[in-house]
Structure formats: structure tokens, C-alpha cells
Amino acid sequence: MKELLFETKGIGKTYGTNTVLHDIDMKVYSGEVIGLIGENGAGKSTLMKLICGAEKPSMGSMYLRGEEYHSNSILESNHQGIGMVFQEQSLVGALTIAQNIFLGREKKYSKAGFVNWAAMNQDAKKTLGQVGLNFDPNKKVRDLDFAARQMVEIAKVLNVVTESAEGHAVILLDEPTTVLSNEEIENLFKQIERMKKEGNAVIFISHRLDEVLKVTDRIYVFKDGACTADMNTKDADESVLYEKMVGRSTTGEFYHEDRQTAPSDDVVLEVNDLSLFGIFNHVGFKLKKGEVLGLCGVEGSGKEALCSVLMGDEGQTSGTMSMDGREVTFKNPCKARRSGIICVPKERRDEGIIGILSISDNIVISHMEQISSRGYVSGKKMKKISSDWVQKLKIKCVSINDRINQLSGGNAQKVIFARALESGCHILILNHPTRGVDVGSKEEIYSLIRDITEKGNSVILLGDTLDECIGMSSRIIVLKDGVISGEFDFPAGEKPSQFDIVKMMM
């Protein structure tokens, strides 16, 4: 019979008076893959943090292999056999892969303070091999792409946990697939399968329900800090899970296609012959009032660079942009904002949120110049503006004076949207607006984009998935190797298949 590996009893967490998680009873058996699903802010990540030792529970107790389990740090948990792969990575860019894998454990390879790098590299290679990777362990982590780093991180945690603990280990994966390609996801699933066979338990968080259904044995569903369902995967399907998570049943109208606006003939932004040396060439298009223009292309097609030129973060080498018939040049994003273009950036944590400032400051920052009189910003006005947005976008927070880095991904993204909308700009560049956002917030964001275009503003969308891009856009421009390789017009109800577009991308 299966051994009970890990158990929580009535565990919970409060921050001040804010209870983010209460009364969670969870059982994890060895050789089992557990799925945790729920909207952002539902408490999944908090539970993970409690289990892996990053935070201490405010109530309840945990048991590992039948004994009560306490941990003060992630390191301590690792030694006891619980390891976590973080959504936001914890590798050190300037070090090599091998150094990262054995970070803090160099002792094993050192003599009198000198490290035997060759031995370390050899072991690193073995470790990487175990998860099906064939990297040179001497390579610097910063030279790897995001997906590769994620795999290295998984290899590292696996190694740490299996090496230091006796008996079976518990591995936590927090949205490991967000940035992986299909092939890499396959590989990851193979690794999960392998860990499972060895008798370890895996806890897997993902926003992609199909993955959860595919890879897990049992699913816990979270909503508002409580566990609303615990079911065997074979009894579940997407619509059941969705209903449990959101509390309402799913409809096919995910992208609100019925609300897609027909673009008017007014051109708000005209781009002519725009080039950035070595990245993209002779790009030209017209953005019309009230439309969603999708930009598609594979990584390296130049769409990201085009986006940063449009928002003023980078200067073009040649070509012109004109807004409402007047030619514009943007020296910096500030100039672009003043002309009416603002961007919701892709890397929310690095480029979006200003972490230690309040939600209110984060919302108002792009519009401060306009709401001030002679440089003076009224606190009352700021408060009113931000509480309005918090209400309108249903941002879940205790107070608008809370730091934004206390919010979950979806809620933080809504704050960034509030900032862009508050700025008064009529062209919004949305760079992966739903990256790392849960299903419920995703739908809210889609509906928000429809609101934006209904008001006559225009959107340039770089979608997180092709499906999203097709679903939302009324026109799509496909970039390939820095040039426009195709353009699709699609009114609502006549969407082309992904296949047609992928053909142009490759």
C-alpha cells in the first residue's frame, strides 16, 4: 500500500488581519502527483511557501513521513526532503550551471578552500543527464534562455533534495510550464513520471488545466484561501474544475468575440518603412481607431523589438511613425506616453510593478503630471482615482496603501492595466498581458480589452498564445525574420485557423 509521505492538518496563514489561507488538510502519498489549481490569489502559492519553508504557518501543523515537520528556511526543508522549483527563478546569472546546481554545497568538492571544478562539472553533467538535458555545465546561466534555466532549476532542486534526504522526497513545482515550449513540457512530464516511479511525490501548480488533467493523479482546488474540492483526476474534466475554481460555469465566449469592434477608417498610428538595424526591416502598417491589432511571430522574429520602438524604449534606425497625421519621434517612453502611446510590459516583475511602492502610487504614476497642479499632487485625488480603479477592475487587496508586491500575479497585472488606462493614452501596446495570470483574471482582462476598444481606443496586442491573439484581434500582422510575412483581416465569427498563421510564422 502507498505510504503517507506528507500531510498538513488545519494549516493556515495570516498577514496582520488578512487571512490568505485557512484550514488546509492535505495528504500526499508517495508516488503520487498532486495538482493544485485555483485563481491567482486563491492561496496556492502561499501553501507552497509554507510547505517549502519560505514562510511559517500561522496555524496548524505539518507532518513529513509521520513525524511533525518544522522548517525555518528553504534550505532546511531541502535537507528534510522537500524542494521547490520557483515560478520566478532563483538561479544566479553570473555563475555557471554547475556552480548553480551546487551553490552552497561546494564543500563536497573543495579541499583547503580550493574547489575541484572538474569533479563538480562532471557531477553536474550527470545531474543534468538525469532530467534529459545535455548542456555544457560550464556555461554561464545568463547565456541560457528562460526555458533552459527552468530545466536547470528543476535539475538543481531534484539533486538537492534527493541527495540530502533519506527516503522519498516531495518536489513542488510552481507553474513550471508557463515559459516552456511544447517539447520541453513533454520532457518535464517525463521527468515528473520518473520521479513518481521512484516513489517521490510531486506537487504541481499550473494554470493550464489540460496539463493538470494530463499529468496528475489527484487534484486540490483552491478558492479564496480555502480548499473547495479534492478529487481524483480520472473523475475530473475541465469544466468541472473550472466551475469549482471560479464558482461559475465556463462558457465558450472566452474572448468575448461578440464584442469585437469593427475598426473605423480613422488611422491613429501610421508606421512607414520602420527599421531597427539587424532586427527588423521595412515594417509598415496602419493602426485604426478602435481595433485590436495582433502582432504574431516566433521568438526572434522582431516583434518584441518592434514593440519597444513603438513605445519609445528604443530608437529606430530608419523609417517614420505618424500619429493622427503628424510625424512623431520618441526619445524615451515618456515622450511616447505624452503623445498617447503606453505599454503594458511583458516582464511584470522587472518592468511593470514598482514593488515597494503602494498600489495607489503604482496606478497613478503614469498620470501624475496631468492630475497635479503646478507639481502638487493631491493625496485625496490619488486615493479617489486608485480606489475607483480597484473597484472597477475588482483588484483584490486589503488597502490601496499596501505594497504592490504583496499582490498575486493576476491582481498585480490588473494594477498595471489600471495604470495604462489611467494614463489617458489612446493607443495601448499590450505585451503578453495575460502572462502568468489565472483563468478568471484572464477573462476579466479580455473583457477589459473589449471595453478599451469600445471606447474608441486602439490596442496592439502581442499575445501570450496564438489562440489568444486570434481570439482577440480584428487584424493580425505576422512577422518573420524581421519582415512582415502576412496580414490577416478577421471580422468576428470568421477567425482563421491557427494553422494558417503558423504557416506564415515559420
Partner 1 sequence: MTKKLNLSDISYSFSKYMYIVSIVLVFLVFTIMSPQFLSLYSLQNLALETAPMLLMSCGISFVIFTGGIDLGTGSIASCTCVITGLYVSQVGNSIILLMLVVGCVMGVINGILVSKLKLPSFIVTLCTTNFWNFVALRLSPSGSQIIPLNKRSMVNWATKDVIGFPVIFWIALAITALLYFIQQYTVFGKTILSVGANTRATRMAGVDTDKAQIAAFVICDACCALAGAFYAYKLKSAVPTVGLDLNLLSIAAVALGGASMVGGRGSVLHTLVGVITITAVTSGLEIIGCNALWKDIIIGMILILAVCLNSDSKGRDLIIK
Question: Which string of DSSP letters, residue by residue, matches 333-363?
Answer: HHHHHHHTEEEE-S-IIIII--TTSBHHHHH
Which is nearer to partner 1, 61 or 181 (by Cβ)? Answer: 61
Beta strands 292-296 and 458-462 are: parallel
What x/- string results for residues 39 through 78 when contact with partner 1 is judged by CB under 8 A? Answer: -------------------x--------------------
- CB under 8 Å to 76, separation ≥6 — which residues? 53
d(CA 220, CA 23): 13
Tell me how far apart the alpha carbons of residues 394 and 271 are, in angstroms, rounded to a whole number. Answer: 36
CB of 118 vs partner 1, minimal distance in Å: 34
Candidates 77-85, 192-200, 275-283, 342-350; binding stretch for partner 1 (CB under 8 A): 342-350
3-state DSSP helix/strand/coil % of the chain, to nearest 5: 40, 25, 35
Contact 124, 101 (CB under 8 A): yes
Q: Does 114 bind partner 1 (CB under 8 A)?
A: no
Among 79-87, 157-165, 194-202, 334-342, which window interacts with partner 1 (CB under 8 A)?
Answer: 334-342
**Burial status of residue 319 (CB atoms within 10 A of its CB: 0-12, 13-18, 19 or more):** middle
Q: Which of residues 351-390 bind partner 1 (CB under 8 A)?
A: 351-357, 361, 365-366, 368-369, 372, 375-379
Between 252 and 379, name the residue whose CB sits nearer to partner 1.
379
- As measured in angstroms, the least distance from the Cβ of 188 to partner 1 is 26
Number of chain positions touching partner 1 (CB under 8 A): 38
Smallest gap from residue 356 Cβ to partner 1 (A): 5
Q: Which stretch binds partner 1 (CB under 8 A): 14-22, 136-144, 203-211, 234-242?
A: 14-22
| Angle of the 117-130 helix axis to the 146-164 helix axis, nearest 10 | 100
Q: Least distance in Å: CB of 12 to partner 1?
A: 12
Q: Closest CB to partner 1 among 32 and 361?
A: 361
Q: Rounded to the nearest 5 degrees, what angle is found at the Cα of 203, between the Cα atoms of 199 and 205?
A: 155
Place of cell 522526497: 169
Q: Across the strands, what pairs with 387?
A: none
Distance, CA of 241 to CA of 221 (rounded, Å): 7
Q: Provide, rounded to whole angstroms, the least separation between the CB of residue 105 and partner 1.
A: 21
The alpha carbon of 305 is separated from its chain's Cα centroid by a whole number of angstroms, namely 20
Contact 257, 471 (CB under 8 A): yes
Q: Under the criterion CB under 8 A, does residue 298 sit at the interface with partner 1?
A: no
Contacts of partner 1 in 305-324 (CB under 8 A): 311, 313
Interaction pattern, residues 423-462, with partner 1; x per rule: CB under 8 A: x-x-------------------------------------
16: contact with partner 1 by CB under 8 A = yes
Contact residues toward partner 1 (CB under 8 A) are 14, 16-17, 58, 311, 313, 332-334, 336-338, 342-343, 345, 349-357, 361, 365-366, 368-369, 372, 375-379, 419, 423, 425
